[in-house]
Structure 1
Amino acid sequence: MKARAFSYLRASTIDQALGAHARAGDDVRFIAGGQSLVPALSLRLQAPQLLIDITHIAELRGISCEGQSLRIGALTRHRDMLSEPLIAEFAPLLRAAAPFVAHPAIRNRGTLGGSIALADPASEFPAMMLALDAEIEIASQAGSRRVKADDFFLDLFETALQPGELVTAVHVPLFKSNQRIAFDEFARRRGDYALVGCGIMASCEGDRIEAIRIALFSVGNVPTRAKGAEAVLNGFRLDATRIASAQGALQADLTPPESDEVPPAMRLHLARVLLGRLLARIGEGA
């Protein structure tokens, strides 16, 4: 199939992009990497009257340290997560997740802001925003605001973004010397959507967990914090008994959807196995 006819505007500033969106009304889409939008256009799942190309907006680029956080521009490509020294030093969980994102051709074009705005529950980076306790920076004609990742993902492909708003950056707390990370996922083939995936950020005092954030994806309509498992672990030494208790807590944390591909019980089982492996890595000093 072919996309329906549409108008095209290449914006050079955020204000120009937001203004064009406001004038066009609701029948408009922003486009950057286009790795999700272009297939949707081709299948006529979306048919906007106007596409606003934001790939040439310099304000949406760049990675920098700002106080106690790392600001990552929305146009940062997935491939940059693998090569940017600031990511490796101050947001290593993103570096760990990046090789699992689709294939090189997609990583070369896909953008962090696009992935977060789409909020695919099977994608790696939205879930890692939860694990990292990130804030999403959003621009509108009324000004700029930040939304905690915990409050950003609302439902299937639904976020806190309002019509006409644009993700401009994410802010991630700087990685500290007492923190440990672990990431992995189960997929039938490398590059396929994960059957289950998980990322962990833990602050440790010796072999004791001071604070931990566990985020899973492909387990529901949104990327999901395993808050029950976190509560089991916080303040305790990470041993086999404690890990088993955290695995058991996933029963209350997760409600995998019905699927012809993977039954909910199997997805929950895979989540438990994966969590056990990652917590073992954390215990070994990952």
Structure 2
Amino acid sequence: MRDGYGTRSRTNGREDGFEPTAVSNDNPPQPEARERYTRPRQSPLIRMGKRLRAPVNRWFARQSLIGDAPVLRADHLPCLRELHRDWRVVREELLPLLAERRSIPAFGKISPDHRRIANSSAWKSFFFEGYGFKARQNRARCPQTAAMLDRIPGLVVAFFSIMEPGTHVPRHRGLTKAWLNCHLGLSVPAGQGRCEMEVDGKPVRWIEGEWLVFDETNAHEVWNETCEPRVVLFLQVRRPMRWPGRLAARLLYEIIRRTGFVQDVKKAIGA
């Protein structure tokens, strides 16, 4: 990660995650022990939704006001402008968390339904909000970021997505075209090694301070094969659509909000 906005340095927290320890070349950090998880059985409602998603998503694509490209321009979403302008404020609030990131929970623990693609502690998540449920303690640690998130209409999910060195997220597809995935680059390794995502078979890369917006229903895969963590602010926001699409997206949101999948997230983030 960048130390301030100039030279790069790395820190490594204790196991309890509260006192960052400086790292020197004489005493290199030991790799973090990686827990591995098994995926629980999915609820019948989620399984049924996945069977119906292809025809439903074709309909959502016809409702879209911004086309149906796998990767979209960030200026299609005016709600992202404030975070783009003040991204350094977000990164300043992120830096203390990175110093103690061993205490940040794995994404697979927060969201057990995602354990096929997040089956170890290499992918960590610091949640702000999910389906209207807010993580109060986390928001208190990053108050300026939380305030900007509160001003985003149609926000579905928001968290810091931290991928440790050696992380690989296998190829997968998301559930719906009703919302879009948005990554704001905060700490992107610049050294040797692969740090990129493939969306619909094409490589894309994060840039610090810039948004990467894509449709998660296209097959995508992620790698961080560098020696540093990759961190983005991960948002899901509602796709701009005609009014029938907006109405259907709102109904879908309310249905998913009541599933066990979201209730697991709600409990895990202390909402």
Q: TM-score, length-normalised on structure 2?
A: 0.30
Structure of higher RCO (CA pairs closer than 8 Å, 6+ residues apart) = 2
Q: TM-score, length-normalised on structure 1?
A: 0.29
Give the structure with higher Rg (CA). 1
